[in-house]
């Protein structure tokens, strides 16, 4: 008999094989896998007691916490669909998602009580509001907090043989740019196989200690909620990314691995009190969520004392598609290795990638010819929630079209050169904003940089750089422009540089280029 594939099997395996291993550390609480599985099952029982039926959506508005991690399993124990919400969204945006998904239950942390109060009158299907921490402060929420309700619930342990592996297990909403956000449906099969494939690709072991620096509400938690559980590793929770707290937890919990977007990694390597902490347990940092660069990879390895690799993926792919481990047989100097480890990398098990031209033909594997990255595999979503036409469009030809432009080399390594929407077309020439950003980031005074297109009367549009300088260092516009001109063709170089104290970012640390584009122009007399 074939047993359906479901992430619940990750928890079953951990409970049976590693019952006494520490499953999760969160603030002052610790749970073994036996205790963690019991709590997840009680959450399932609580939801059934609230009248949740198979396929109902259960939403959580929470920072990284053991309760959110429990929901990754407890919601599925009840046969429902997990809907983690981006805590940085405004009340109207959250209301849209809750109404679009027709969520039945909303769990929320106390810090988000004012936000929930602001949108609760504009949502139509949520029947129960449950506060996750401390006693409820609002008369419209359940009178008991989450832990009291959990204590009074019976454990639900779903028969995994009855799970439809192709049914939706998780629903994540992508960021809306020009339109409303889309709900990404990830099936039980998607999530289970993604956990297995990433555990293999990242060579995870039972002694893994993972610090959850990436929000669990984002893109399936980068798969760590399931892959770490599958191998019986320890989840270490951090509510908010604060460098001092990251370093404290690394030292106190013996953290081996963590995932960072490049802006987080830059904050760690530039943290002035970094050397106060014992970081010897740290083995690896996975950079993703945005393009990295060789300079950052080198700094992570030299200043944090661990290997730095990059990865690439999308919410629609569960999300990891590639990692940039060095393959055996590739000889490289340190600088060449840093450059390769800053690439998106090569496909993980269970994922297939191609780079194709506008006619859907493969581009040459020369590391130079640009095309769109398309993929198919175990982790690729089943579709967009209630958007069949959009689903059909992105899956044309049987491959999921990522919207990312890249090149591929003879070793199968992909380098993302830009989002299709971020390519700058200046005087008929295509300019990769990521290439320009990598060049600027190689200047020793630059902390972080973003490049966007701005209007130009002659060339149509040209690059403009927004730069944050490292603490205690200085740089001028002329100096950075000359730095670019020494390494790039002149037409690729920014026409101007604006210095900022910080770059606008999403809740997951990605730079919001759309905010930088607003109201910016470049005069016609700018030098070319």
Distance CA(316)–CA(174), nearest Å, equals 9
C-alpha triplet 406, 489, 438: angle, nearest 5°: 50
For the entire predicted model, the pTM comes to: 0.88
Task: Assess whether pLDDT exceeds 60 at residue 525.
Answer: no
Dig out the tokens for 176 from the structure. 């809306």
Of residues 225 and 507, the one with the higher pLDDT is 225
What is the pLDDT, as a whole number, of residue 177? 44
* Residues pairing with 129 in the sheet: 106
**Residue 36's pLDDT band (cuts 50, 70, 90):** very high
Distance CA(360)–CA(362), nearest Å, equals 7
Dig out the tokens for 320 from the structure. 């990891």
> Quick check: 253 and 181 in contact, CB under 8 A?
no
**Residue 1's pLDDT band (cuts 50, 70, 90):** confident
Distance CA(376)–CA(448), nearest Å, equals 33
CA atoms within 13 A on the CB side of 247: 19
Q: Domains for the chain: give ranges and CATH numbers.
A: 8-19+30-155+162-188 (3.40.50.12780), 241-420 (3.40.50.12780), 423-517 (3.30.300.30)
> Quick check: 14 and 23 in contact, CB under 8 A?
yes
C-alpha Rg value of the chain to the nearest Å: 23
Task: Assess whether pLDDT exceeds 50 at residue 528.
Answer: no
Q: Which residues of 304-339 are buried (b: 16+ CB within 10 A; e: fewer)?
A: bebbbbbbbbbbbbbbbbbbbbbeeeeeeeeeebbb
Distance CA(300)–CA(324), nearest Å, equals 15
Over residues 35-49, the mean pLDDT reads 98
Sorted by sequence, the CB contacts under 8 Å of residue 299 that are 6+ apart come out as 269
Dig out the tokens for 290 from the structure. 């945005």
Dihedral, CA of residue 515, residue 292, residue 202 and residue 240, to nearest 10: -40
Kindly state the percentage of the chain with pLDDT values over 90: 85
| Structure confidence by residue, pLDDT tens digits, 472-521 | 999 999 999 999 999 998 889 999 999 999 999 877 778 888 889 874 44
Backbone angles phi, psi at 229, to 5 degrees: -65, -45
For every residue of 159-201, DSSP letters joined together read -GGG--TTSEEEEEEPPPSSS---EEEEEHHHHHHHHHHHHHH
> Quick check: 318 and 349 in contact, CB under 8 A?
no
Start-to-end CA span in the chain (Å): 68
| Structure confidence by residue, pLDDT tens digits, 419-446 | 877 889 888 788 988 899 999 999 999 9
Among 308, 263, 261, 264, which residue's Cα sits nearest to residue 282?
Answer: 308
Residue-averaged pLDDT of the chain: 93
| Structure confidence by residue, pLDDT tens digits, 285-314 | 999 988 889 999 999 999 999 999 999 999
Dig out the tokens for 329 from the structure. 């047989």
Helix (H, G, I), strand (E, B) or coil at 392: helix
What is the pLDDT, as a whole number, of residue 179? 58
| Number of alpha helices (DSSP H) and beta strands (DSSP E) in the chain | 16, 25
Mark out the alpha helices in 254-364 (DSSP H runs): 262-269, 294-304, 334-341
**Residue 457's pLDDT band (cuts 50, 70, 90):** confident
Helix (H, G, I), strand (E, B) or coil at 368: coil
Backbone angles phi, psi at 461, to 5 degrees: -155, 155
> Quick check: 233 and 332 in contact, CB under 8 A?
no
What is the pLDDT, as a whole number, of residue 425? 83
DSSP secondary structure code for residue 511 in this structure: B
Dig out the tokens for 28 from the structure. 């002052």
**Residue 418's pLDDT band (cuts 50, 70, 90):** confident
Distance CA(104)–CA(448), nearest Å, equals 42
Task: Assess whether pLDDT exceeds 90 at residue 132.
Answer: yes
Residue whose pair of structure tokens reads 């491959």 in the numeric block? 399
């Amino acid at each position: 008999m074939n047993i359906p594939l479901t992430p619940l099997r990750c928890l079953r395996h951990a409970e049976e094989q590693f019952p006494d291993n520490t499953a999760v550390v969160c603030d002052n609480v610790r749970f073994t896998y036996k205790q963690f599985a019991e709590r997840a099952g009680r959450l399932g029982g609580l939801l059934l007691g609230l009248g949740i039926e198979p396929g109902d959506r259960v939403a959580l508005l929470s920072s990284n916490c053991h309760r959110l991690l429990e929901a990754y399993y407890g919601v599925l124990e009840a046969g429902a669909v997990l809907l983690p919400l981006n805590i940085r969204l405004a009340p109207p945006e959250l209301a849209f998602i809750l109404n679009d998904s027709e969520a039945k239950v909303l769990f929320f942390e106390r810090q988000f009580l004012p936000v929930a109060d602001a949108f609760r009158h504009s949502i139509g299907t949520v029947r129960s509001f449950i506060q996750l921490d401390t006693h409820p402060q609002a008369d419209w929420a359940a009178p008991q907090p989450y832990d009291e309700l959990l204590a009074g619930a019976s454990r639900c342990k779903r028969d995994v043989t009855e799970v439809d592996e192709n049914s939706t297990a998780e629903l994540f909403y992508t960021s809306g740019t020009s339109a409303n956000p889309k709900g990404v449906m990830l099936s039980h099969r998607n999530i289970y196989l993604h956990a297995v494939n990433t555990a293999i690709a990242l060579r995870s072991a039972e002694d893994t200690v993972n610090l959850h620096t990436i929000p669990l509400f984002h893109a399936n938690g980068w798969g760590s909620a399931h892959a770490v559980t599958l191998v019986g590793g320890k989840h270490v929770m951090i509510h908010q990314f604060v460098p001092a707290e990251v370093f404290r937890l690394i030292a106190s919990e013996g953290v081996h691995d963590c995932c960072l977007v490049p802006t987080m990694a830059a904050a760690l390597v530039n943290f002035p009190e970094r050397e106060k902490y014992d970081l010897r347990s740290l083995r690896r940092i996975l950079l993703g969520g945005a393009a990295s660069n060789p300079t950052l990879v080198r700094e992570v390895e030299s200043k944090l004392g661990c290997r730095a690799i990059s990865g690439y993926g999308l919410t629609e792919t569960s999300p990891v598609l590639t990692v940039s481990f060095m393959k055996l047989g590739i000889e490289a100097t340190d600088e060449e290795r840093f450059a390769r480890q800053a690439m998106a990398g090569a496909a993980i098990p269970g994922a297939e990638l191609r780079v194709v031209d506008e006619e859907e033909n493969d581009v040459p594997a020369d590391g130079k010819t640009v095309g769109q990255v398309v993929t198919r595999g175990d982790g690729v979503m089943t579709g967009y929630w209630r958007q069949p036409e959009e689903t059909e469009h992105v899956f044309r030809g049987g491959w999921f079209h990522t919207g990312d432009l890249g090149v591929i080399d003879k070793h199968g390594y992909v380098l993302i050169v830009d989002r299709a929407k971020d390519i700058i077309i200046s005087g008929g020439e295509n300019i990769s904003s990521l290439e320009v950003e990598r060049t600027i980031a190689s200047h020793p005074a630059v902390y972080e940089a973003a490049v966007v297109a701005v209007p130009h009367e002659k060339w149509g549009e040209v690059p403009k750089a927004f730069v944050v300088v490292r603490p205690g260092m200085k740089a001028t516009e002329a100096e950075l422009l000359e730095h670019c001109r020494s390494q790039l063709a002149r037409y690729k170089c920014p026409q101007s540089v604006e210095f900022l104290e910080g770059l606008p970012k999403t809740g997951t640390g990605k730079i919001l280029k759309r905010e930088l584009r607003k109201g910016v122009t470049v005069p016609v007399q700018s030098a070319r």
